[in-house]
Every structure is written in C-alpha cells, then in structure tokens.
Amino acid sequence: MDGFLTLLYKEVLRFWKVSFQTVAAPVLTSLLYLLIFSHVLEQHVKVYENVSYTAFLVPGLVMMSVLQNAFANSSSSLIQSKVTGNIIFVLLPPISYRQFFAAYVLAAIVRGFVVGLGVLVVTLWFVGLSWQAPLWILVFATLGGAIMGALGVIAGIWAEKFDQLAAFQNFIIVPLTFLSGVFYSIHSLPPFWQQVSHFNPIFYMIDGFRYGFFGVSDVSPLMSLGVVAACFVVLTTFTLWLLRIGYKLRA
C-alpha cells in the first residue's frame, strides 16, 4: 500500500473506531432537528409546490451533516496529531504534500458521506423523497465535502490549541451552515438577507444538493455548481500552497 492509501485508510479507521461519537451522534442530532422543526413548522411553511416542509428539510439536514462532519474530520485529526505530537509519524515518511492533502480531504468526504447517508436512511422513515437528478446530489455532496475537508485541513494546520479550532468551527463554519438555507428557502428572507445569503458559498452547496432531489431550487444548479467548483479550486490551491511551504508543520 503506498503512503497516500495508508494515510487515507488511517484517517478513515480513526473516525470509524469512534463511530459512536463521529457517526451516530451527528445522525441523532440531525434527527432531532427534523423532529422538532417539522413538528413546529410543517403546517406553517410551504417552500416549493408539492414538497412538504419535512421533505424540504431532509436534504438540507443531510448536506449540513456532510459538510460539518467533513470539516470535523480533517480539522480534529490534524489538531489532535499536532497537540499530541504524533503528526511526526506522517511527516517523517516520503509522503508528498499533494498526497497528504488528498488523503485528508478524501477521508473527510468519506466521513461526510457516511454521516450524510446515516441521516438520509434514518429520516426516510419519516418522509418520502423524490430523486430527480441523482448525479447532482453526488456532485454537490462530493464537492461540498471536499471544500469542507480542505477548510478543515487549513483550520487544523492553523490552530495551535483546541479552543482556536473550536472558535473556527463555532464562529465560521456553524453560522455559515445554519444561515445557508438548510431550514428555509432564502426567498422567505427580506431582500437584504437574500443578498447576503448569495455571498455564502454553503448556500449554493445546499441549494444545488436539494435540486438533485426535487428538481427545483432557489438559484440555477449550474450557477451553484460554478460557485462551488470555483470555491473548491481556490481552497485547494491555497491549502496545497500552505502544505508545500510547510506552514506550521515543518518549521
């Protein structure tokens, strides 16, 4: 097995060994969101024709889980390795910075997919979904997971303490995901906040992902794909540059 595959395997094994915390817990959290929000809002909110609020909510929750867990995987693995010092085991072998990036980001996508699939399976007990464009579902989930995995790599490299990483997560990632249309359509917002939402890349990930289920979305899926792909390219380039210069990894 080469260095890249081993690092990928190690990163997947790492979260799988504590799957109660890394998979079951976020699935339960999403289920609670679904139960509470659908109970309160099912009769009051109608976003798209022929789509119940609960059905509307499910893809948003799935994608939110994919994104948050992809970020959590790469960021928490790196900060733990840095704080405990075992990052040295990855830095000593002949693993290139590109392999390093690919392994952490792919493992993040895997964790995002596992949790997202868990949320989808559990929520399907409560509501039926349509699958208008499955390819869009896969494309947005993959790109979204990759973007958040790369962001996790950046945060994990940058943070020197757990509280710095928690600040990154709580003040950037969580607000961006919550304010991205997981629980509502941005058309229900006042014009100013609609405009603001268009600057949130996560909005496009969720909107495009949801399009794959219902065939309708707040903005064109092609536009969403363009924004998400551009974000992926920019973040990948930036992260690879950080890794190439050894920022906070190789003094």
Find the binding residues for another protein in span 114-173 (CB under 8 A).
Answer: none
Long-range contacts of 198-203 (CB under 8 A, 24+ apart): 200/176, 201/147, 201/176, 201/227, 201/228, 201/231, 202/67, 202/144, 202/176, 202/177
Task: Report if residue 85 touches another protein, rule: CB under 8 A.
Answer: yes
As a whole number of angstroms, the distance between CA 147 and CA 229 comes to 9
Question: Which residue in 50, 84, 135, 191 binds another protein (CB under 8 A)?
Answer: 84
As a whole number of angstroms, the distance between CA 236 and CA 109 comes to 14
Structure tokens, 183: 């629980």
Structure tokens, 66: 């994919």
Q: How far is the CB of 131 from another protein (least distance, A)?
A: 36
Q: How far is the CB of 17 from another protein (least distance, A)?
A: 5
Task: Report if residue 250 touches another protein, rule: CB under 8 A.
Answer: yes
* C-alpha count within 13 angstroms, C-beta hemisphere, residue 104: 33
Task: Report if residue 237 touches another protein, rule: CB under 8 A.
Answer: no
Question: Which residue in 63, 90, 110, 148 binds another protein (CB under 8 A)?
Answer: 90
Binding-site string for another protein from residue 2 to residue 41, where x marks contact by CB under 8 A and - marks none: xx-xxx-xx--xx--xx-----------------------
Question: Which residue in 24, 28, 32, 86 binds another protein (CB under 8 A)?
Answer: 86
As a whole number of angstroms, the distance between CA 94 and CA 154 comes to 21
Question: Which residue in 44, 49, 50, 92 binds another protein (CB under 8 A)?
Answer: 92
> Is 4 buried (19+), middle (13-18) or exposed (0-12) by CB count in 10 A?
middle
Q: How far is the CB of 104 from another protein (least distance, A)?
A: 14
Number of neighbouring beta carbons within 10 Å of residue 227: 19
| C-alpha closest to that of 5 among 91, 103, 87 | 103
Of 9 and 178, which has the nearer Cβ to another protein? 9
Of 15 and 183, which has the nearer Cβ to another protein? 15
Question: Which residue in 28, 36, 39, 89 binds another protein (CB under 8 A)?
Answer: 89
Task: Count the residues in the chain.
Answer: 251
CB 206 within 8 A of CB 213: no
Q: How far is the CB of 107 from another protein (least distance, A)?
A: 13
Task: Report if residue 215 touches another protein, rule: CB under 8 A.
Answer: no
Question: Which residue in 40, 93, 138, 220 binds another protein (CB under 8 A)?
Answer: 93
Residues near another protein, by CB under 8 A: 1-3, 5-7, 9-10, 13-14, 17-18, 81, 84-86, 88-96, 246, 250-251
